[in-house]
Chains A and B, each alone.
Chain A
């Protein structure tokens, strides 16, 4: 009898153990991550949600495979850069040679990262308004989200044209096949977002601004750039002038200082992609280094982006920026002497880079010098090369140790002359900062004349190249998308 009692009890215990908590037993409780329904509850969640939108930005400048990075999308097709050889660079070479293929990874990733950022910004704009928290902070966070959403769309619309416009986060897959919207609709949204962003963003230099966050100046300058692209000259001029008059920014005395790690988030920097060693190291410097010549230890030396020699030669010999942006020799890292090479881009050379942490160099997305050049360009379009326009461009020129424009040989006080001059000034001043290709597109010009028909040496720019093809993966997965013409 004893045995049976023992058996009953054992059986019962095991049964009870198993079934008592059947539902709980099979319930998954993820402890190491958070699922969306347990998020967006308080100010901390709101802050980390907006931080996550910024966190997309560095990806455009990080490596995606051995020796490649997404920002090549803007450098390779420009008339300032050439694709270095020797790496596995098929896509990079295609960008350089205007063989725009919907399969190019750089384009696919540009698209992916942008929409990831947009969705993250949309999530902030969707959830944060309902969070009970400090209103000032809430408004600032929402404004940053508006700014970043506009930032991503502005690049997308210029590169791909009419892209799908989403202003709400994706919560399930019921409606992910968004079709393309008119370019004007997208620009309207961008402008609306930036105006909203301006309202609550703090001024640079004010106590509440953490370095790296969007500011009123960043929103206004971006807005002036949008207007410039749309050729709404008065709006562009006014916005740029607002930023100039805010007094929040000025130029560094020395051009090369604007790119030094120790000067990051300085007085000239309106919006920079933030990097800090160990946290998020930057390594875009490595693509500009001469290919494995041993001038810098502790880093790859990819040699992937070389200067276009036409552009290199376009700098005047007196132009300080030529020596700041380029070099042809450097001491070998192992102390074995001077290494000489063809001209390479020196702008992003970081002597403090180390193998463990990489570099802390920021990528300068918007500098005050550009604000001045936007002002100069827009003002010229409205009123011709007046004093305001000349003053703006000359600030940039004099920092480059060049004479005022009106004192240069062959100066003509015409709109036409000034227009070309300011474009060229942008090219020299903002070289390799992701601006030139956009300038080429919006003005339909290149270093040797018209953009269409421009022969970069590796390929000719064709009329349909004015827009990149929509990435093939997107076409494959979204049946409501129609490819851009010519692809």
Chain B
């Protein structure tokens, strides 16, 4: 029966792909081997061999806490005699008299002990402080840092735990070479952007793949409680990531959640409470009420003088000096002092074949913008049960519930942008003739402005997300060298968002009163993964081999519902039921991925390292003609410092050269893009809806993933007994087959077709240094610095190399991506002053709207006319380099940690100026606008032109004057802690600390946030500051108790 089943399985498999056949063969070996194998005794498994027996030595190996250490290798050097400790750390070994024993265990310093005449030898192993022995989590397994051949950046989460922030990405800022992380906005629970090694794609996104405990997740990452995390591994290099195949091109972030360590039993309590406020630096400096009135008066004076305006100066603006009404700072009105509290309780236990780690967390943030906030309840419990010494089963469960309100504050013309330019002469508390609070304001020549404070307070926008991330596995060791692991993971999510815009709320283009509108949207998704891997691990003579092979299947499906209600009769009932007009949308999408993969890690004498891997992915997203892709990779390392010729390099304790090459893909090409699409386009007949359907796109059955082929050369150096460690990397990668909407003539009836045509070239350098600067009994200082240089160039765009962007006049379309140039540069005019005099005007190139006193841009193409052809590249939002610099100190019981991050050479477009420099007299404006050109005798500061009708649009066009240097150094966090002396026997340790987040931003940039970017870090559209949610400075106090 079993054989028939196997044959059946094999037959099915053969139709697929060779690697899966290999898989099945391995599996059949497994099955066959298992069914034939006799149950082996406990001792057989533990003792490896025995020779001339003389003495039996027994004992217990413990760690510094006195907990027994299982799995410690006890061996006699130069022989094949050896054993390992059991679950309690006990061992027993027969050796010849006078032998020496070596106790070694990963992560601990080895000890050599001569047995002398003892028969009981108890050993305490000390943790190895050298990171070289640290175990690095790699895709589908772990590796000792020393033997890693790919480019991987790792970080222990314990270094991060004091930072008072809600998202782990915030904590990673400045920590990892090659990983650019920006806080583009301070939105509670959001606003983070990440980009690994400059990855960019036109249409397939550049977010890395996040893998939580081996499960590549699809949904958000911001609902993962940072306190659940034990470590991060960022797979940057082409071979490191390649085992994740068609999803690895943007890098892979492996997140390992907390497990109880062997022998550990503890209860940890972490509480952080903080207050937040918006720093003063970088706020827009607009006119106050009196300046505003004077400015309006001047505009009317010019209107009368130059345009024959006969209406006279409106009464409101006639006497600024005697004004005594409100003087409102509208930005200030929307801010408040916030709070940020985080509570975490962890139970860790590892005893009696059972290990459990449970973290219960609650994070709450009251935003610094009124009526905004974010909460997260989270639970994670990771449990592993050791059935016998060969078989383990585990279950990880992580439910979270997260809520947020009024998160939609960012973006063009959104409230934090539009409210800024509201004239100060209005107050949110103004009342109308009936004594009711005003809902909008206007005045002569002005826009109509909503009462922003009322809008912010009365708009309801609430989201809630429930998520369950779960994972169960079965792992068995057999035949000494094999481990089989089978796991099933499920990610379930459900979110809802309810929005109600009352009649009193509005935006800049739609001031209230309006009919109230509302929406209610829900989204549910599920993503499941089954995965089976077989691992073979064998060391013989000087060879060491670690082979893994596996396959997995993943499926994701999502359903989306949106209910929209309009024409609510009033603001009393805010649910859709009350709306006079209701409509809904409902849709779904799904994808699936089937993969086989294998990797061989081989090393010879522990110093010649080789890793070869391949993955084969089949995805439902790929066109029927191109369904399967193979992603091979190879990497090699050479530990020079282990060579005999290196023995006398006294200061170099470790030197490894690495090289890697690999293929990775980006499969985010969208679901169903291979199909031509018939879509609904409705029309009206007889005053009622008539459904229409027509082809809106042509299919492409050849559509496939984007491929990134990369090479990396690197060097790891340890100096002075590894007190200083250096990492150097150079990478070069090319992304080809880029998913691109290839424009076709409109004459075909369709604008474009999705195809894989396009190529980017990326290269860069990374450098990291970690030094234990001072290491004494009383005082230690550890310093860590990393710096990354990323460069790129566009090689091909579609069939015609048609540039992307560079067409619009405003900052929302400022970018241009063109062959031969770096990706996503700013494209616009070069500011060249104003035409101050008639002579200047007569003798110089002009735009259609130019007059004496208006703005002048540079006539770049020198044709005597200023027009769109004079636009040119005016800045690159990508920094020349970015860096992180972290220092930690400890003195007696005090500790201090300073985290800094920054960048140099990137440009930021100050988009607020498009409105805060308007000359139409419709908004409040920057103070310096008063220095505009008024007449030939009063030409102003030479920067701001006149307010003449018909000339005022051109000055708002994108120009280099507003593309500002965004170089900055941000002190992200300063924490000072004090560990209390032990005062209670149940309390293992107690520490209190004070922490400042976003302590200081050093920059010449005019705006508040030099990391701002309303489109995130997507490569093609970075670096435009549209006055996003401010990043608060947080002052926090915290305690850590460990029971």
Partner of A19 from B16, B391, B800, B920 at Cβ < 8 Å: B16
Q: Assuming A14-B532, A35-B678, is B683 touching A27 (CB within 8 A)?
A: no
A213 within 8 A of B: yes
A235 located at the interface, meaning its Cβ lies under 8 Å from any Cβ of chain B in the complex: no
Cβ-defined contact, A354 with B694, below 8 A? no
Q: Is the Cβ of B800 less than 8 Å from the Cβ of A53?
A: no
Q: Which residues of A contact B (CB under 8 A)?
A: 1, 3-4, 7-8, 10-12, 14-20, 22, 25-28, 30-36, 38-39, 45, 48-58, 85-90, 93, 97, 99, 103, 108, 111-112, 115-116, 118-120, 122-123, 163-164, 166, 169-173, 176-178, 210-213, 265, 274-276, 278-280, 292, 294, 298, 300, 354-357, 360, 471, 473-474, 476-478, 481
Q: Is B692 an interface residue (CB 8 A)?
A: yes
What is the CA–CA distance of A30 and B698 in the complex, to the nearest angstrom? 15
CB distance from A64 to the nearest CB of B (A): 13
Instruction: Select one of B37, B688, B698, B810 contacting A279, CB under 8 A.
Output: B688
Q: Which residues of chain B are near A22, meaning CB under 8 Å?
A: 12, 15-16, 594, 618
| Shortest Cβ gap from B243 to chain A (Å) | 18
Residue contact A118 to B474, C-beta cutoff 8 Å: no
Known contacts A26-B627, A176-B748, A356 near B678 by CB under 8 Å: no
List the B side residues contacting A7 at CB < 8 Å.
Answer: 34, 474, 476, 484
| B533-562 interface code vs A (CB 8 A; 1 in, 0 out) | 000000000000000000101010000000
CB of B950 within 8 Å of the partner chain: yes
| Cβ-defined contact, A356 with B566, below 8 A | yes
User: CA–CA, A56 to B753, complex, Å?
Assistant: 20
Residues 740-769 (chain B) with a chain A CB within 8 angstroms: 743-751, 753
Contacts A12-B5, A55-B681; is A178 near B698 (CB within 8 Å)?
no
**24 A/B residue pairs, CB under 8 Å, sorted by A:** A8-B31, A25-B620, A28-B621, A33-B679, A51-B683, A51-B685, A88-B953, A99-B848, A103-B807, A111-B746, A118-B749, A123-B694, A164-B745, A166-B748, A169-B749, A170-B748, A176-B745, A212-B690, A278-B581, A357-B567, A473-B743, A477-B802, A478-B747, A481-B745
Contact with A along B563-588 (1 / 0, CB 8 A): 00011000000000000010000011
Instruction: Give the distance in Å from the alpha carbon of A3 to the alpha carbon of B478 in the complex.
Output: 12
Task: Determine whether B821 belongs to the interface, using a CB cutoff of 8 Å to chain A.
Answer: no
Q: Min CB distance, A472 to chain B, in Å?
A: 10
B27 touches A28 (CB 8 A): no
Complex CA distance for A356 and B953, rounded to whole angstroms: 30
By a CB distance below 8 angstroms, the chain A residues around B753 are 173
A15 and B685 form a contact (CB under 8 A): no
In the bound complex, do residue B749 and residue A274 qualify as a contact, i.e. CB atoms below 8 Å apart? no
* In contact, A119 and B750 (Cβ under 8 angstroms): yes
Min CB distance A146 to B, Å, is 16
**Are B594 and A112 touching (Cβ within 8 A)?**
no
Contacts of A298 in B (CB 8 A): 514
**Residues of chain A within 8 A of B551, CB atoms compared:** 18
CB-based contact A1/B743 at 8 Å? no
- Smallest CB separation, B352 vs chain A (Å): 20
Contacting pair A210 B686 (CB below 8 A):
yes
CB distance from B87 to the nearest CB of A (A): 18
Q: What's the Cα separation between A22 and B391 when bound, in Å? A: 30
* B residues in contact with A108, CB < 8 Å: 746
Known: A39-B693, A212-B686, A477-B743; 15 extra A-B contacts, CB below 8 A, are A3-B387, A8-B2, A11-B532, A16-B9, A17-B553, A22-B15, A25-B555, A30-B675, A36-B676, A49-B692, A54-B685, A54-B690, A86-B920, A118-B749, A173-B744
B588 neighbours in A (Cβ, 8 Å): 31-32
B131 touches A (CB below 8 Å):
no
Confirm or deny: B672 has a beta carbon within 8 angstroms of a beta carbon on chain A.
yes
A63 to chain B, nearest CB (A): 12
Contact at A18–B530, with CB atoms within 8 Å? yes
Q: A52-B692, A354-B515, A355-B515 are in contact. Are A279 and B684 (CB under 8 A)?
A: yes
**What residue of chain A has the Cβ atom nearest to residue B474's Cβ?**
A10
**For residue A356, which residues in chain B have a CB less than 8 angstroms away from its CB?**
515, 517, 566-567, 581
Chain B hits for A103, CB < 8 A: 807, 868
B322 at the interface (CB under 8 A from A): no
Measured in the bound complex, the distance between the Cα atoms of B619 and A90 in whole Å is 46
- What A residues does B674 contact at CB under 8 A? 28
Chain A residues with CB below 8 A from B34, complex form: 4, 7-8
Give the residues in chain A near B30, CB-CB below 8 Å: 11
Check B684–A49 contact: CB distance below 8 A.
no
B592 interface neighbour in A4, A25, A36, A178, Cβ under 8 Å: A25
- A55 and B692 form a contact (CB under 8 A): yes
B515: A residues at CB distance < 8 A: 354-356
Evaluate contact between B2 and A55: CB separation under 8 angstroms.
Answer: no
Q: Is B695 an interface residue (CB 8 A)?
A: yes
Q: What secondary structure prevails in chain B residues at the interface with A? A: mixed
Query: In the complex, how many angstroms separate the beta carbon of B104 from the nearest chain A beta carbon?
Result: 31
B13 sits at the interface (CB 8 A): yes
Closest 7 CB pairs of A and B: A119-B749, A52-B692, A51-B692, A52-B694, A176-B748, A478-B745, A55-B681
In whole angstroms, what is the CA distance A148 to B678 when docked?
20
Chain B residues with Cβ under 8 A from A19's Cβ?
Answer: 9, 12-13, 16, 20
Q: Produce 1/0 per residue, B620-634, CB < 8 A to A.
A: 110000010000000
Is B809's CB within 8 Å of the partner chain A? yes
A31 and B620 alpha carbons, distance in the complex (Å) = 14
Which of A17, A27, A53 makes the CB contact (< 8 A) with B530? A17
Once the chains bind, are A88 and B809 in contact (CB under 8 Å)? yes
Task: Say whether B838 faces chain A, with CB atoms less than 8 Å apart.
Answer: no
Which B residues lie within 8 Å of A51 (CB)?
682-683, 685, 690-693
Bound-state Cα–Cα, A431 to B39, Å:
97
Q: Enumerate B1-51 residues with CB–CB distance to A below 8 Å.
A: 2, 5, 9, 12-13, 15-16, 20, 24, 27, 30-31, 34-35, 37, 39
Chain B residues closer than 8 Å to A34, beta-carbon distance:
677-678, 693
Using Cβ atoms and an 8 Å threshold, which residues of chain B touch A93? 848
In the bound complex, residues from chain A placing their C-beta under 8 Å from that of B893 are none
Contacts of A1 in B (CB 8 A): 39
Using CB atoms, name the residue of chain B closest to A2. Answer: B39
What is the minimal beta-carbon distance from B505 to any residue of chain A, in angstroms? 13
Indicate if B984 sits at the interface (CB-CB under 8 A): no
Nearest A residue to B476, CB-CB = A7
* Cα separation A164 to B746 with both chains bound (whole Å): 10
B306 interfacial by beta-carbon distance below 8 Å: no
Contact B687 A276 (CB under 8 A): yes
CB <8 Å contact, B746 and A474 = yes
Indicate if the CB atoms of B748 and A355 lie closer than 8 Å: no
Residues from chain A with Cβ under 8 Å of B282 in the complex = none
The residue on B at minimum CB distance from A282 is B684
CB-nearest residue of chain B relative to A114? B746
Whether the Cβ atoms of A279 and B949 lie closer than 8 Å is no
A116 touches B749 (CB 8 A): yes
Do residues A26 and B592 form an inter-chain contact, with CB atoms below 8 A? yes
Per-residue CB contact flags for chain B residues 198-212 toward chain A (1 = under 8 Å, else 0) read: 000000000000000
Interface contact B594-A49, CB-CB below 8 Å: no
Is B745 touching A274 in the complex (CB atoms < 8 A)?
Answer: no
Known contacts A8-B31, A88-B809: does B746 contact A115 (CB below 8 Å)? yes
Pick the contact of A25 from B484, B581, B594, B749 — CB < 8 Å? B594
Residues of chain A lying within 8 A (CB to CB) of residue B2:
8
The distance from the CB of A141 to the nearest CB of chain B, in whole angstroms, is: 12
> B437 an interface residue at 8 Å Cβ cutoff?
no
| Contact (Cβ within 8 A) A477 B749 | no
Which residues of chain B from 793 to 850 have a CB within 8 Å of any chain A CB?
A: 800, 802, 807, 809-810, 848
- State in angstroms the CA–CA spacing of A18 and B672 once bound together: 22
Contact of A28 among B581, B672, B692 (CB under 8 A): B672
Q: A253 to nearest B CB, angstroms?
A: 23
Give A30 to B592 CA distance when docked, in angstroms.
13
Closest to B798 in A: A477
Q: Pick the contact of A477: B16, B620, B744, B949 (CB < 8 A).
A: B744
For B692, give its contact among A17, A18, A54 (CB under 8 Å): A54
CA distance A366 to B514 in the complex (A): 35
CA distance A38 to B37 in the complex (A): 55
